[in-house]
């Protein structure tokens, strides 16, 4: 029988499994607190007796991801990590410093199956899903390494969070728990390329996190060129899912829009996008596309980005341009991992 990862368990599941072993329920909370504090060895749980620890060790283990490489930007202090998983896979995460504290951008899968044409994470396809504990341990390890609390989380590293639905939901429950890292739902953003049924499922859970949708195009024709998922779900179906989400959660949705020179950055594109989003409780985040080695997309010119933003604003759509962070350390998702894998070979 393979062992169960304690760090992947919600408080309720921990309590249930511990009670099943004949232990008292409050032991479950103690164990949950230890693993979320970063304890990696069951023997270090000092308020648990030796015989109980021996029993625990037979059934459980604790995820323990390691920092394989760490790069710190000289420009803005952004820190990029390559993490080594127990099965020797590599994932990456980033910590950025904003006025309101540290924001961690973490991965939900090793690689990605979505195939977006501008994205580095998807180049080698999907290797496997991360367990909730592996998603969480990125935060635990970053906090320990930096000696500072992470206050915000964005699920914008490698992987499609809604393609690893159950583990991501468990992660959200664990990270938000007051006996764990206790990071507020409002400080967590889940970014998705738009898996319509899962957006609706997430809406039904009514967890007040922020939802970000990778839209990147004002119409289906352009979106299909950039994102294979657009073959499966139309923008109109996705918009319906967003309306359903808003009905259930009433929290402003963010639309991410990576501007690619000559592909989706014309004035007409901006007008079409304004029409699409009109009346929706939302915000557009314009991202100058990061050029990656494997693709020949170019960033839109600064003036074009400004013009694009001005059109959206003139139509009453709130828009920001994403600041580039860590440009000297290859901070865009997937790039560092790809370079690492190439060099290893
Ligand atoms: N799979 C999820 C989350 C991971 S990607 C999603 O698609 O939303 C996080 C964000 O980075 C997404 O908006 C994605 O489209 C964007 N992104 C990926 N590659 C990029 C690149 N080269 N330049 C700019 N943004 C990129």
Instruction: Give the chain's radius of gyration (CA, Å).
Output: 21
- The pLDDT confidence band at residue 332, using thresholds 50, 70 and 90, is low
- The protein residue with its alpha carbon nearest to ligand 1, atom 15, reads 214
- The protein residue with its alpha carbon nearest to ligand 1, atom 10, reads 156
Of all atoms in ligand 1, which is nearest to the CA of residue 191? Answer: 8
Summarize pLDDT for 47-70 with one digit per residue, the tens.
999 999 999 999 999 999 999 999
Q: What is the pTM of this model?
A: 0.96
- The protein residue with its alpha carbon nearest to ligand 1, atom 17, reads 119
- The pLDDT confidence band at residue 335, using thresholds 50, 70 and 90, is confident
- The protein residue with its alpha carbon nearest to ligand 1, atom 4, reads 156
The H-assigned helical ranges of 148-289 are 165-176, 196-205, 220-226, 229-232, 235-249, 267-277
Segments making up each domain of the chain, as ranges: 4-61, 66-344
Residue 188 has pLDDT above 90, yes or no: yes
Give the SS3 label for residue 71.
strand
- The protein residue with its alpha carbon nearest to ligand 1, atom 9, reads 156
Cα within 13 Å of Cα(36), Cβ side: 24
**Which strand ranges, in their side-by-side order, compose the sheet holding 253-259?**
66-72, 79-84, 90-98, 101-105, 150-155, 188-192, 210-214, 253-259, 282-288, 319-321
Q: Which CATH class is domain 4-61?
A: mainly alpha
8 Å CB contact between 237 and 274: no
- The pLDDT confidence band at residue 330, using thresholds 50, 70 and 90, is confident
Residue 280 CA to residue 246 CA, distance in Å, equals 9
Best mutation site among 119, 263, 290 for ligand 1, i.e. most ligand atoms within 8 A of its Cβ? Answer: 119
Residue 165 CA to residue 175 CA, distance in Å, equals 15
Distance 248 CA to ligand 1 centre (A): 25
112, 116, 242, 333: the catalytic one is 333
Q: Which of these CATH numbers, 3.50.50.60, 3.40.50.2000, 3.20.20.70, 3.30.70.2190, describes 66-344?
A: 3.20.20.70
Q: How is residue 152 written in tokens?
A: 């915000």
- The protein residue with its alpha carbon nearest to ligand 1, atom 3, reads 156
Q: How confident is the prediction for the chain on average, in pLDDT?
A: 94
The H-assigned helical ranges of 128-164 are 132-146
What is the mean pLDDT of the segment spanning 239-246?
A: 97
Summarize pLDDT for 121-145 with one digit per residue, the tens.
998 999 999 999 999 999 999 999 9
Strands 4-5 and 60-61: parallel
Residue 105 has pLDDT above 70, yes or no: yes
Residue 242 CA to residue 244 CA, distance in Å, equals 5
Catalytic (active site) residue 92: yes
Ligand 1 interacting residues, C-beta cut-off 6 A: 114, 116, 118-119, 156, 160, 191-193, 214, 256, 258, 287, 289-290, 292, 332-333
Q: How is residue 331 written in tokens?
A: 């901070």
23, 92, 160, 167: the catalytic one is 92
- In this structure, the number of other CB atoms found within 10 A of the CB of residue 250 comes to 10
Distance 103 CA to ligand 1 centre (A): 16
Of all atoms in ligand 1, which is nearest to the CA of residue 118? Answer: 22
Catalytic (active site) residue 333: yes
8 Å CB contact between 330 and 339: yes
Give the SS3 label for residue 323.
coil
Distance 192 CA to ligand 1 centre (A): 8
Distance 51 CA to ligand 1 centre (A): 48
* pLDDT the model gives residue 336: 74
């Amino acid at each position: 029988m393979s062992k169960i990862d304690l760090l992947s368990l919600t408080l309720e599941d921990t309590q249930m499994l511990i009670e099943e072993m004949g232990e008292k329920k409050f032991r479950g909370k103690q164990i949950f607190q230890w693993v979320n504090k970063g304890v990696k060895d069951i023997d270090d749980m000092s308020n648990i007796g030796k015989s109980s620890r021996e029993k625990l060790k037979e059934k459980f283990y604790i995820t323990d991801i390691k920092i394989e490489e760490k790069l710190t930007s000289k420009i803005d202090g952004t820190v990029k990590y390559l993490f080594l998983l127990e099965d020797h896979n590599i994932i990456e995460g980033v910590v950025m410093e904003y006025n309101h504290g540290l924001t961690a951008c973490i991965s939900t899968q090793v690689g990605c199956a979505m195939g977006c044409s501008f994205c580095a994470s998807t180049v080698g396809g999907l290797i496997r899903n991360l367990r909730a504990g592996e998603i969480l341990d990125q935060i635990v390890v970053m906090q320990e390494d930096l000696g500072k609390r992470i206050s915000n989380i964005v699920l914008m590293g490698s992987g499609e969070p809604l393609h690893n639905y159950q583990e991501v939901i468990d992660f959200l429950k664990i990270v938000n728990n007051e006996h764990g890292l206790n990071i507020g739902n409002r400080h967590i953003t889940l970014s998705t390329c738009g898996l319509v049924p899962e957006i609706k499922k997430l809406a039904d859970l009514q967890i007040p996190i922020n939802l970000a949708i990778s839209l990147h195009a004002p119409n289906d024709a352009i979106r299909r060129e950039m994102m294979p998922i657009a073959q499966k779900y139309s923008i109109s179906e996705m918009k319906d899912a967003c309306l359903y989400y808003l009905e259930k959660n009433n929290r402003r949705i963010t639309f991410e829009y990576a501007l690619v020179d000559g592909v989706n950055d014309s004035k007409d594109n901006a007008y079409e996008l304004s029409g699409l989003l009109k009346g929706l409780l939302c915000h557009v985040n314009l991202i100058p596309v990061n050029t990656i080695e494997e693709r020949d997309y170019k960033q839109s010119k600064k003036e074009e980005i400004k013009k694009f933003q001005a059109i959206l604003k003139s139509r009453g759509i709130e828009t920001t341009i994403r600041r580039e962070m860590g440009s000297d350390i290859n901070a865009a998702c997937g790039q560092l991992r790809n370079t690492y894998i190439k060099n290893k070979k």
